[in-house]
Amino acid sequence: MKRNNIIQGIFVALLALMIVSCDAIVDEQFLENSTTVEGVELVATQNSANGNTIELSMNTPGVTGYWNYNLGVALTNKVEIVYPIPGTSTFTFVGTLGAEFFEKTIDVTVDVLDTPLEQDWYDLVSDNTSAGKTWVFDGGPDPDGRMWWFMADPGNPWGLWWNAGGDCCPPGDAAGSMTFNLDGAANYIYDDGNGNVTNASFVLDTQNQQLIFNGASILGYDGDRVNPDGIYNIVELTEDKMVLFTPTNNGGTGWTWVFVPAE
């Protein structure tokens, strides 16, 4: 019995020692803010007086994050952009202070587009960026045998599976139009051709070659065909032609849109 008590005592002592040892090696660290939101310095520098080449910079040490400059994001504290939209725009820095996330904005006014834009912008909205440009289907609005709104191979925008618009079944807005302009913002005007007009916005992602519709549908609306997120791959974009494509939809197929400038 005495031996058992000794063994039990040793076991309890070892257990206590293990608990103390574990407590000793636990180094609890707590995240702390390195500054306040008010202490985060955002700076915008332009190439000329209200010119459209803009350097956005977050200058506070210990803060990390990214810039949302409306037409895309830059995963860095500093970025230079050629901004295509005249007027006052708000840019947002999204970051962490250490223990919490935050957003802070800075306003920048562009009065002159003194740095040329990428050609895709001029092809989409014309050289007169404020006036903009209107696009319509390259065919229709009645079935005419041409390929302007059709089901395609999800891996090939020109791989015709069903020529819906050209053969039998054009969309209800086939006589409508899409207008894009940069008059103070990236404006998108959707006209369904039936007396209904919607003012919305768009994003032209020249890097990823995508056109994104916000607040209104692409021309050629069909719930089973359109991309629910409003994102379309740019297959072709020139002064005289625009071809958009979504590789997947509710039917498990691709769908292709072909547009030309309105006369």
Reported as a single tens digit per residue, the pLDDT across 133-150 is 999 999 999 999 999 999
**90: DSSP letter:** E
Distance CA 223, CA 254 (A): 13
237 assigned to some structural domain? yes
- Cα dihedral sign, 172-176-181-184: negative
Of the candidate ranges 7-21, 58-72, 161-175, the one whose mean pLDDT is the lowest: 7-21
Looking from the CA of 179 toward its CB, the CA atoms found within 13 Å total: 18
Reported as a single tens digit per residue, the pLDDT across 222-256 is 988 899 999 999 999 999 999 999 997 666 899 99
Q: CA dihedral in degrees (129, 130, 133, 134; nearest 10)?
A: 160
20 assigned to some structural domain? no
Short-list 23, 258, 19, CA closest to 148: 258
Q: Do residues 103 and 94 make contact, with C-beta atoms less than 8 angstroms apart?
A: yes
How sure is the predictor about 30, in pLDDT bands with cuts at 50, 70 and 90? confident
27 assigned to some structural domain? no
46 assigned to some structural domain? yes
4 assigned to some structural domain? no
Q: Do residues 133 and 115 make contact, with C-beta atoms less than 8 angstroms apart?
A: no
- CATH number of the CATH domain containing 98: 2.60.40.10
More confidently predicted of 20 and 105: 105
Boundary of a domain, candidates 110, 144, 161:
110
Reported as a single tens digit per residue, the pLDDT across 173-213 is 999 999 999 998 899 999 999 999 999 999 999 989 999 99
Q: Do residues 116 and 96 make contact, with C-beta atoms less than 8 angstroms apart?
A: no
- pTM higher than the cut 0.75: yes
How sure is the predictor about 19, in pLDDT bands with cuts at 50, 70 and 90? very low
pLDDT at 224: 85
pLDDT at 141: 98
pLDDT at 71: 84
Domain of residue 103: give its range: 42-110
